[in-house]
Amino acid sequence: MIPWWLTPLLAIWGAFLSSVALGWNFYRDLTSRPKLKVEVKVRRIVVAPGGQWYATAPSLNIEGASEQLFIVMSVVNIRPRPVRWHGWGGIYKKPVAGKTGFVIIPRGLPVTLKDGDTHSEYTELAASGYPADDTVKRLQAWDSTGTNWKLSWWQMRRLRREAKEALASSAA
């Protein structure tokens, strides 16, 4: 004979296990989504003897470094799922010449980033500070699904400050 309490105990145990399994599936699905970390800095470009380029801080005195300042966007895939980076650009605070945003012509895009892969793109920093001036609300990268990976407001503020300092020191 089966005890009277066994059926409710098994029902509770089954409900607990199915809740744990459902929670695990939600967690797994949410953490396996692609995620990019975007960073933008003001840099000078140095071409190594092998032809490979790298970016250096504008204040460093390195032989072969360009006099021209550049905005360098580095994107890192921080999740296991691969992501295809298609382009980058920005959004204006107020429309400029009737346009609300702009696209920066890429040099090596599109590129597929696997887990931990990084890729950098660069564009010239104008003497006026564009694209890091006060007319630009934000810079962003986008992937093949149309997801925008943008700089936060404080990263954009830091980029503006860095660009002003670099332009002031290069003019002196």
User: In the chain, how many H helices and how many E strands?
Assistant: 2, 9
What SS3 string covers 46-105?
EECCCCCEEEECCCCCCCCECCCCEEEEEEEECCCCCEEEEEEEEEEEEEECCEEEEEEC
Q: What is the pTM of this model?
A: 0.80
- The answer on 25 and 106 residing in a single domain is no
pLDDT in tens, 123-145: 999 998 899 999 999 999 999 99
- The answer on 137 and 66 residing in a single domain is yes
> Is residue 28 helix, strand or coil?
helix
Number of domains observed in the structure of the chain: 2
- Is residue 167 over pLDDT 90? yes
- The answer on 80 and 146 residing in a single domain is yes
- Domain span including residue 160: 34-171
The end-to-end CA distance of the chain, in Å, is 94
- The answer on 1 and 70 residing in a single domain is no
Instruction: Output the domain CATH number for residue 162.
Output: 2.60.40
Can you give the pLDDT at residue 172? 67
Can you give the pLDDT at residue 89? 96
- The answer on 142 and 87 residing in a single domain is yes
Q: Are strands 118-124 and 111-113 parallel, antiparallel or unpaired?
A: unpaired
- The answer on 115 and 38 residing in a single domain is yes
- The answer on 48 and 63 residing in a single domain is yes
- The answer on 48 and 2 residing in a single domain is no
